[in-house]
Structure formats: C-alpha cells, structure tokens
A and B are shown apart, each in its own frame.
Chain A
C-alpha cells in the first residue's frame, strides 16, 4: 500500500506540473534560446487530447448543511480498533473534531444528540456496488453495467452509466451506507473504471462524486469473461485465454505509457515532439501501471488470484483488492504477504462453479492471518445490511474460537474498504480530521434487530428514521405505489 501510495503522489505531482504546462503553453519555463522559433510554433495540446490535462468529469459535490454537533452517551466503534463506552464525538465543519470517553470536552452552544443506548460507527462503505449502473427497476433500458461488446473495455467509465435517481441509493443510505464504489460488471477482462460516490441524493453523478477519490479499474477473472466471449466464439473462451487477454493489454499499455513519457520528456526539454494520440482504453491501463488507478479485481478462486498476482508482478502494478474472493481463505498467508485485500460475502456460496468453495469463515480466516478483509455486497439488498453480513462473518470466526471483537469486525465495512478505495485519509474511521460520515444505530449494529437511526455525511444529517423530512425519495418513485417509502 505504502509503496504505490508514494508512487501515486509522485506521479500526480508530475501531472500537476505538466497540466500547468499544457494549459499555459507559451509561458512554459526553461526555454532553450536556440530553439525559440520552433518553440513559438508549438501549440498546446487541447485538454481533451491529453489525459493528464483533461478536466474529465469533476466532482461538484457539496456537503449538505450541517452545524457543530456533539454526540454523547453512545457506544462508539471507531474502526481504529477501539470500542468506547459512553463515548463523545464532536463534529464541526463537516469533520470529526474529537472522539473520546465521557470526559471529552464539548464546546458550549453546539447541538447535542443524546445517543445513550445507541451505537455509533463510521458510515458504512460498500466497496462493490452497482447502484446507479444496474438500478431499480431492473429493466433492459437501464441495464448499463456491462459494456459486453469486447473483453477489454478499460475505456469505459462507470460514472457515465450512473443514474442518480436509482431508488437503491436511498435504501442503502437507510442501511447506513455513506460511500460506495460503483463498478462496471464482470463480463469483461477489463470492465472499465469504477467511481466512488458519496451516498447523497443529487441530480447528477458529479454531485455525488467523492472529491479526490482515485479511480479503480474493474478486472474480472474466471467464468464470466470466458463465458460471455466464448459464447460468441471469440477470445477468451478459456481461463488461459483470459490470462492472454490481460497480458496482451498490459504490454500495449506499457507501450502507450512509454510513448507519452517520451513525449513529455522531450517536451520538458523543449524538444520538438508529436503528442501520441490519446487512447482512453490504454490511458486507464497506463494509469494502473503508474499507480494512479487501483485494481479492483473480481476473482473467486484462490489459484486464479495467485495467477493474477504473478501477472501484476510481471508488469509492475499492484492489485489493490480481489472482489468476490470467496476462496481467499485458502491462500490467506500469501494475500497477507502481498498486501492484497479480499472483499467477500459471508453467506453466499455455490451459486456458480467458481463460488462453490465459499465459506462463512472466509473473512475470519483471512483476519486471523493478518490479511485485509472487506465485506462487500454486489447487491442492492445486501448493501442495506452490510452490518449484518459482517456479523455473520464475525460469528463464523467466533464459532472457531477466534474471539473477533466488534471493534475489529466493524473495520470490514468501514476502514478497510476505505483503504482499498484509496480514501482512508478522508473517511472510514472516527478520528479527528476525517469526514464526519457516521451512523447512529438503534443498538449493537451487529444485531439482526439493529436499525440505522440517523446517518450523517460530512456532518450533515442525510437520513433520519424518525423524521420524514430526512427520508429522501427518488423522482422515479413519485406517483408510484408506496411513494418511495420502504420502512
């Protein structure tokens, strides 16, 4: 994690410098005097033709109105390993200002929420969601999750399929979900870019887009790509065809990255250089090679995970997380050593051949081995109760005598997905300076009877089970049976 982080930082600094070059053109520094006439003719590349200069689709997210608030009396799970009884959380300016025991000082004149008997956790983060891209109702006209036209569609971005009016966002929020990674589907070897969203109602995707969250690249192992393309008599039709497809793409991506690097190096030296033609597919893959885009790899089987790790080593990138990794328990020490997270369900198994060996203790065995564990949903129903799915996974470990505490297991749906989505510096745990994304639960969130009473994003109340004013409804549900009310 640390290794690619520093790489990412270095590259983004480089990117900043270069984009300044590209947009200001004639004021570029360090002009060699001798080449002055040529230089004057060089035109800046249009933003859309240079991936590092492109403005893309920037976040327009603005936190909803909030006021300084103190939460008192709750049992607090910080997702840093602590369980605080009778805890105090003070939130100000959308950030967490203080977290501590009952003696934590609370400034005067702030709103106080008496949370005695309640539990507070960080907002739930679903690292694998298709809300918006496979929205409700599930009709063909809104089935936008799989660009199943080519095994490599690294060029597509899930954010361009997100329908912000998906009623599923509202259900997930009522289950405490404050942040989601929306992924393309798994029909392709390279499905496209993921997008991380703040789970706030918004008119546009950009209004939900998590500011400064890195992109992910959805990759898929196994049965889906080879079935989809094998069924069309195209490659891949086998597991080995899958692997060929990945390797070929990385070779092309490395070549593309080198061409741009050469171009930029020449440009920096003030030499004449033709910019390579921007290729959205290769640009995303090159972004992975540069450590800017995180690999989110759908991969059920342990043996296939091991192959994917070798491919990553062959081409010098890092796999951030295996998704649906139901067999990760078989290679837990390897995953711990390689620092690759595993996102899994606790209770689903055997719905396809590659999920046959899924066990409820998968997460617990990984945890025991010191590997990074995430409980994900991939499902608009399960996302509403990731707390319970984590409870099932925790219980499976405790049945083995592991003694997994709530303070630990809460990380599986908060701090760990934040880490795997590259936003752990911003959200995912209750620590001063982080976003005040938190859930007030009616009781122990690992109980089947727990309800999310209040949900806050950046300090703003975005859902309140007891107050209809804070129960947003999708446009789609107006005038329909139920009027968007679901509890």
Chain B
C-alpha cells in the first residue's frame, strides 16, 4: 500500500500540465472585466487563446467541457507588484534575490533571480494568480509595515544586505507568468525602475527628503547626459556622474519615457513631489503605496498616473502615512484615478490580493473596479493588456474558474489556466496538508506518505 501511494505521488509530482487543448467552460457567470458580466455564458479556449466568449456560444465539437456549475470565470489575477519567484523566505537571505544590495542601484535586474521552481508560485496560483510584476525591494528598505512580534526579523527581511548604504534606486522590475513546468517564466524584463520617496527614500539618500529628490533628479539628468554623450563618456570626456555606467544605462528607458519609474510613496506632500517629478522630467510614473492618495486624488487623476494600493493600510503606522484610510481605493477611483490592488508582499500572501479587492469593495469601490484592480488594470500598467487581463477573444487564455465570487473569503479556484493549459492544483502547502490531514493507517510515519 505504501508502495502504491509512493508511486501515485511520484506520478503526481512528475505530471506536467497537459498541452493546450480546446476547452469549453460552460454554465458560468463570466466576468470579462473589459465588458459587462455575462450571467450565464460559455468561454472557449483554443490553441492557448480565448476563442469565444458569450451567452450563446456553441461548444466546439471535441472540446473538453468544464461545467462551472454556476461558478464564476475571471481572467487570471495579476499581482501588480510582488517578490514572487525572486524571493521565497523573508528571513532566509539565501532565498532572496529581490534587492540590489550595495553593488548596484537602478541597474539591478530582478529577472536574473527569477526561479520558476519556487514553491511559492504554486501557492500564489492556488489563490487564482496567474501572473505578477516582480519588483525590487524599494530603495531604503521595505515599506512601513512592521511585523511586531517578529519585528527583530524585520531588520533582516527589509531588503538590507547588511553592508553599506541602501541604494537610491531599487532596480529593474520584471513580469512573470505562473506556468507550471515552464523553464522560463519571465514574460518581460526591464519593465520599470523602482525608487522610494518619503521616509525610506530619505534613508537611501542619507537622511532626508530634500537629499532624496535632489539625488533622483540629478540621476535622471545624468542619465540623459550619459545617453546623449555615450562616446564621450567612454573616452572619459564627460563630467563625473553620480551613478555608475550600469545604473545610468538602466535609467535611459526611464528618461526616454519608454518605461515607468515605479515610485513607492505614502504622504500627500511626497505624492505631490512625485507628480511634479513626473511632469518636470517628462517621465512615466506609477505610484505604489499611496496611503494618503485620497487627499490628492484629483491631482493624481489629472496627471493620469496609475496607482497600486493596499486597501488594508488604515493605520498611521508611520509619520508619512498618518492619513491612511480603508476607503483610499474607493476615493481614488471616484476621483478618476486608475487603481490596481496588491496582495501582501510579505508572508508569501499574494492570495490576499483578491480579498484586498473585496475589502476595497466593502469600503466603497464599485465591484467592477475591484475586479479590474486585480486583473486588467495591473496588466495595463505593465503593458501586458494586449495579451492578458481580460476575457477578450484573441487574448492569451489566463483564466480562472471559481466556485463563487472571486473576491470572497469562502471561494476558491476550481480550475486555473495559463496560456490555455490547465495548471496543477498543487503546491508545497497542499502536499503538506494532504500528508497530515489523514493518517494512511500504515503505522509508518508521515514521511512515507
């Protein structure tokens, strides 16, 4: 019996997702996100793409039919900013590749550290997440969140490498799709450069905001000069630049307006500085954190700058987040700001993303905006909306079938598709669960199960 169990689990572990086949999901409430919900529809996946979606769609001959039994079909959720696949265990430095350390600043490229075998990927997918922007730890350490009891750990997990000053820029972000068994899950790299304003930015700049912004502006100016006078630089015929050649190189797409600067910022006054920076430097900007965003919501909307928020953040837990509110997302949205919603960066809890969207809805965000905030909006922010983020014909079939409202605590994904391929409903956590949930009665320890 033990032997057969062993064989079964070995087969399970080795099983790779089936190749793309034609699939019809029927009897489902379909939330395309890009358009109104279809109360009872059919979604057809063919060749890894969405082939048809609607109420009166016929099931193609030979298609594998999945009866959603009145469940909900959504696009796969998109994590707008996480450390997934670049960091596993916060307190174990060897498993962390989500911060530059002291050697690099803007040039740090998180895509090189992406580990498709990270067990945290299965865990995230178990929460309906099929892709994620992977963003370096912001400059000057992590966010304001302190885990009180294990606060002593925080020193180690805040992205500090224990030597030297934190760099001004966090580094370059990437985008991954959570396809099981894929040798390379990086969909895009060098997507953005991260930086912090406010308290952690000040830390990176030697202590205060005034230094942080001067140094950031100077770095952008240097990057422009570097791009314009590359040959002169190689001959040593330029003035001294504040950053290394590699860091300046990484900032060129930012100063050219091709990729955004992802700015971690909380306080209203700091947000205004970020908006000013974007306007004066003519760069693309995405804001993350934005706890006091509601105070300056019309200004953010007018600037057309998207934000990534954590709807749980309602504590005055730092002097830059004294105005934190549970309805921040709702107020930003009402003012016309494009809002993406994040899960928890720490604690490997990206599963929280959909519940965070639910929390924002509970606090006034319209449901459709809540759903978009974890799908189409983050896809759009990272330039992936041509492929994913909504259930439109022709898009890549990153699709989740839920047994109920995807934003609700009591729901879970029944089927998860990435690129039209059904993903294993399996993670390190589910394997642990199944090992201990029931004894096999063999008299052998769980290690044999």
* Contact indicator per residue, chain B 295-327, by CB within 8 Å of chain A (1) or not (0): 100000000000000001111111101111111
Asked whether B147 lies within 8 Å of A379 as measured between CB atoms, the reply is yes
Interface size of A by Cβ–Cβ distance < 8 Å?
72
Q: In the bound complex, what is the Cα–Cα distance between A409 and B325 (angstroms)?
A: 29
Q: Which of B146, B295, B325, B429 contacts A487 (CB 8 A)?
A: B325
Interface positions of B from 107 to 153, Cβ below 8 Å from A? 120, 123, 144-153
Q: Are B323 and A481 in contact (CB-based, < 8 A)?
A: yes
Whether A134 touches B148, Cβ cut-off 8 Å, given contacts A352-B89, A356-B89, A446-B410, is yes
Contact between A391 and B409, CB atoms less than 8 A apart: yes
- B292, CB-defined interface residue at 8 Å: yes
Name the one of A133, A350, A385, A481 contacting B268, with C-beta atoms under 8 angstroms.
A481
Nearest CB on A from B404, distance (A): 10
Contact A351 B157 (CB under 8 A): yes
Name, among B90, B120, B144, B317, the residue most crowded by chain A CB atoms within 10 Å (CB to CB): B317
Decide if A487 touches B314 in the complex (CB within 8 Å). yes
What is the CB-to-nearest-CB distance from B331 to chain A, in angstroms, rounded to a whole number? 11
Which residues from chain A contact B327 at a C-beta distance below 8 Å? 487
A330 touches B91 (CB 8 A): no
Asked whether B325 lies within 8 Å of A482 as measured between CB atoms, the reply is yes
Q: Interface readout for A332-368 with B: 1 if CB under 8 Å, 0 if not?
A: 1000000000000001111111001111110001001
Mask: chain A, 392-423; 1 = CB below 8 Å from B; 0 = not: 10111011100000000000000000000000
- Complex interface: stretch among B8-16, B415-423, B432-440: B432-440
Is there contact, CB below 8 Å, between B153 and A352?
yes
Q: Is the CB of A482 within 8 A of B362?
A: no
Q: Mark A468-486, 1 if CB is under 8 A from B, else 0.
A: 0000000011001110011
**Residue B233 at the chain A interface, CB threshold 8 Å:** no
Q: Which of A85-93, A137-145, A258-266, A454-462 contacts B (4 or more CB under 8 A)?
A: A137-145
Contact indicator per residue, chain A 283-301, by CB within 8 Å of chain B (1) or not (0): 0000000000000001000
Check A134–B151 contact: CB distance below 8 A: yes
Q: B372 in the interface, Cβ–Cβ < 8 Å?
A: no
Given contacts A365-B433, A378-B147, A481-B268, 12 further A-B contacts (CB under 8 A): A128-B149, A185-B148, A329-B436, A360-B433, A365-B437, A378-B149, A381-B314, A384-B312, A447-B409, A481-B292, A481-B295, A482-B324
- Which residues in window 85-118 of A have CB below 8 A to B? none
With an 8 A cutoff between CB atoms, is B348 at the interface?
yes
Contact of B315 among A145, A168, A448 (CB under 8 A): A168
Say how far B200's CB is from chain A's closest CB, in angstroms.
13
Contacts of A477 in B (CB 8 A): 316, 322
A130 to B315, CA, bound (A): 14
Contacts of B411 in A (CB 8 A): 395
Contact B362 A134 (CB under 8 A): no
Inter-chain contacts of B359 with A (CB < 8 A): 385, 448
Chain A residues lying within 8 Å of B409, measured Cβ to Cβ, are 388, 391-392, 395, 446-448
Contacts of A136 in B (CB 8 A): 315-317
Q: Which of A134, A224, A481 has the most chain B CB atoms inside 10 A of its CB? A: A481
Residues of B contacting A: mostly: loop
Q: Is A373 an interface residue (CB 8 A)?
A: no
Is A451 close to B, CB under 8 A?
yes
A185 and B149 in contact, given A350-B120, A365-B437, A381-B313 (Cβ under 8 angstroms): yes
Task: Say whether B151 contacts A361, CB under 8 Å.
Answer: no
* B288 contacts partner chain A, Cβ-Cβ < 8 Å: no
> Which among A137, A185, A330, A356 is the interface contact of B322 at CB below 8 angstroms?
A137
The total of interchain contacts (Cβ-Cβ below 8 angstroms) comes to: 192
Contact of B212 with A by CB under 8 A: no
Q: A359 touching B433 by the CB < 8 A rule?
A: yes
State whether the Cβ of A146 lies closer than 8 Å to any Cβ in chain B: yes
Contact (Cβ within 8 A) A349 B429: yes
Q: Does B76 contact A (CB under 8 A)?
A: no
Is B153 in contact with A379, judged by CB distance below 8 angstroms? Answer: no
The CA of A439 and the CA of B359, in the complex, are separated in Å by 19
User: Please, which residue of chain A has its CB at the minimum distance from the CB of B430?
Assistant: A359
User: In the complex, what residues of B have CB within 8 A of residue A298's CB?
Assistant: 149
**Cα of A224 to Cα of B145 in the assembled complex, Å:** 19
Cβ contacts under 8 Å, B319 to chain A: 137, 139
Chain A residues with CB under 8 A of B147: 351, 378-379
Would A223 and B91 be within 8 Å (CB), given that A365-B433, A481-B268 are in contact? yes
Tell me which of A134, A228, A351, A447 has the highest count of chain B C-beta atoms within 10 A of its own C-beta.
A351
B346 interface hit (Cβ, 8 Å):
yes
Shortest C-beta distance, B338 to chain A (Å), equals: 23
Tell me the bound Cα distance from A12 to B312 in angstroms: 43
Asked if A187 is an interface residue, CB under 8 A from chain B, the answer is yes
Contact check, B316 vs A365: say whether CB atoms are below 8 A apart: no
Complex A-B: 20 CB contacts under 8 Å: A136-B316, A137-B316, A137-B317, A143-B151, A171-B314, A183-B149, A185-B148, A351-B89, A351-B150, A351-B347, A352-B157, A359-B429, A448-B358, A449-B408, A481-B268, A481-B292, A485-B325, A486-B324, A486-B326, A487-B325
User: Is there an interface contact between B322 and A350, defined as CB atoms closer than 8 Å?
Assistant: no
Contact among B144, B349, B362 with A448 in the assembled complex (CB-CB below 8 Å)? B362
**A353 and B316: CB pair below 8 A?**
no
Shortest distance in angstroms between A3's beta carbon and chain B's nearest beta carbon? 28
Q: Are B324 and A145 in contact (CB under 8 A)?
A: no
Cross-chain contact of A330 among B120, B316, B355, B436 (Cβ < 8 A) = B436
The residue from A128, A329, A348, A448 contacting B408, defined by CB atoms under 8 A apart: A448
Interface assignment of A167: CB less than 8 Å from any CB of chain B: yes
CB atoms of B315 and A361 under 8 A apart:
no
Chain A residues positioned under 8 Å from B314 (CB to CB): 171, 381, 384, 486-487
B255 to chain A, nearest CB (A): 33
Given the contacts A138-B144, A446-B410, A486-B324, A167 and B149 also touching, CB distance less than 8 Å: no
Q: Distance (Å) between the CB of A70 and the closest chain B CB?
A: 28
Closest chain B residue to A330 by CB distance?
Answer: B436
- B149: which A residues are within 8 A, CB to CB? 128, 130, 145, 183, 185-186, 298, 324, 378
